């Protein structure tokens, strides 16, 4: 089996449960980089994701661009989300995804204080674009997928929810196994280092 990591940003949202059910059907795991200020509206979804063995990562409190904030405000964005995740699932997140993929300072320094490696991606089907379709998402991801890839998706997007219905069976049929980011990193990168970026450098 070829291990890959499927990741979702900006949830929890209305399609997250649908994604979780499909992952469970195939005994796959994913990583959900959640936005802290959304958890209170759907705590049961985040709890469900964790109980099913999926990983919950920090994606800031309000989806702010951290490089444009003071160190104090940036730390607050991470801290509030960190605490909200811990309160919901009983354990703190151990990884985070930079908003907009922007891993410039002060994020690396603050992430080190939390013990977070910074996780971007290697495959981006641009599912957040207005003209995105399930067919385009599917074809972009499957075109050159290889073991060790980290796929970026967004659970609030309806086209993504539709694409997942095709992608999950395709992964299984083509010998891919979905694991969490924390499981993938030691196999294809290195034991994760706090404050270090893994995946595409965006800016």
Q: Provide the 10 A C-beta neighbour count for residue 42.
A: 18
CB 105 within 8 A of CB 123: no
Look up 73 and say whether it is catalytic: no
Structure tokens that stand for 183 in this block? 């499981």
- Residue 45 gets which letter from DSSP? H
> Which residue among 10, 13, 124, 154 is the active-site one?
154
- The two structure tokens encoding residue 157: 């997007």
Query: Facing residues of 2 across strands?
Result: 176
CA distances from 192 to 27, 87, 101 (A): 25, 24, 18
Is position 154 annotated as part of the catalytic site? yes
Kindly state the tokens that stand for 196.
């270090």
Q: How far apart are CA 103 and CA 142, in angstroms?
A: 27
On whether the CB atoms of residues 21 and 47 are closer than 8 A, the answer is: no
Q: How many CA atoms lie within 13 A of 167 on its CB side?
A: 29
Among 9, 10, 127, 149, which one carries the catalytic annotation? 9
Residues with catalytic roles = 9, 154
């Amino acid at each position: 089996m070829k291990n890959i990591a499927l990741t979702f940003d900006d949830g929890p949202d209305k399609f997250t449960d649908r994604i979780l059910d499909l992952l469970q059907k195939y005994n796959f795991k994913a990583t959900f980089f959640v936005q802290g200020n959304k958890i209170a509206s759907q705590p049961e979804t985040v709890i469900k994701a964790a109980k099913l063995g999926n990983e919950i990562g920090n994606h800031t409190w309000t989806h702010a661009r951290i490089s444009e904030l003071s160190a104090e405000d940036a730390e607050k964005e991470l801290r509030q989300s960190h605490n909200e995740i811990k309160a919901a699932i009983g354990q703190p997140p151990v990884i985070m995804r930079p908003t907009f993929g922007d891993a410039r300072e002060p994020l690396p320094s603050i992430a080190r204080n939390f013990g977070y490696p910074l996780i971007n991606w290697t495959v981006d089907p641009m599912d957040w674009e207005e003209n995105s379709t399930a067919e385009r998402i599917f074809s972009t991801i499957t075109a050159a997928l290889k073991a060790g890839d980290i796929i970026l998706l967004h659970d609030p997007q309806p086209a993504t929810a539709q694409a997942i219905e095709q992608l999950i069976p395709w992964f299984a049929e083509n010998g891919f196994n979905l694991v969490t980011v924390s499981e993938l990193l030691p196999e294809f990168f290195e034991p994760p280092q706090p404050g270090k970026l893994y995946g595409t450098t965006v800016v």
